[in-house]
Amino acid sequence: MERTFLAIKPDGVQRSLVGDIIRRFEVKGFTLVGLKLMNVSRELAEKHYEVHKERPFFSNLIEFITSGPVVAMVWEGDGVVASARKIIGATNPLNAEPGTIRGDFGVDVGRNLIHGSDAIETAQREINLWFEQEELVSWKPSLMSWIHE
């Protein structure tokens, strides 16, 4: 079953948006299989954002993501990787459509509330980076037959 890694960034936690953000993935019909509130070490942050290490915003990004608690999550479902990216919206909240998380709650690319894996392979890498295998819970919601034909 397809899985993705999502993280509510420190701005989402500080602004009391954790419940609202989680709710969007719940009501969509995806299954939560991993969840933890954590402070992010510089080492983890740098590994997570490794592909951006040459970008001018890298040091600000690392400062920001390590500045306060983050809610790290793994969600499961058919097509969850691409669908979660749509629910999250464009990287710059000013370009994100209303109805998306970034479109509804943000105005600044450096405060865009949530991370979501950009591809199935990236998701696998990020889940392994952020979670131990035993922290993930495989379960079948009992209302599945009302969500899937």
Active site residues: 115
57 binds ligand IDP (CB under 6 A): yes
For residue 50, state whether it binds ligand IDP (rule: CB under 6 A).
no
Cα(135)–Cα(33) distance, integer angstroms: 9
Nearest approach in angstroms of CB 48 to Mg ion is 10
Tokens, residue 67: 């500045």
- Among 115, 126, 127, 131, the residue binding ligand IDP under the rule CB under 6 A is 115
Residue 24 gets the label, from left (phi > 0), alpha (psi -120 to 50) or beta, of alpha
Closer residue to ligand IDP, CB minimum distance, 30 or 102: 102
Which position among 2, 20, 104, 118 is part of the footprint of ligand IDP (CB under 6 A)? 118
Other C-beta atoms closer than 10 Å to the C-beta of 69 total 17
Strand-strand pairing, 3-8 and 31-38: unpaired
Sheet with strand 31-38: strands edge to edge? 31-38, 70-76, 3-8, 114-116
Closest CB to Mg ion: residue number: 118
What is the closest distance, in whole angstroms, from the C-beta atom of residue 27 to ligand IDP in the complex? 22
- Evaluate whether 96 touches 106 at the Cβ level (below 8 Å): yes
Options 21-29, 70-78, 110-118, 123-131: segment touching ligand IDP (CB under 6 A): 110-118
Q: Which residues bind Mg ion (CB under 5 A)?
A: 118
Q: Which residues bind ligand IDP (CB under 6 A)?
A: 52, 57, 61, 91, 109-110, 112, 115, 118
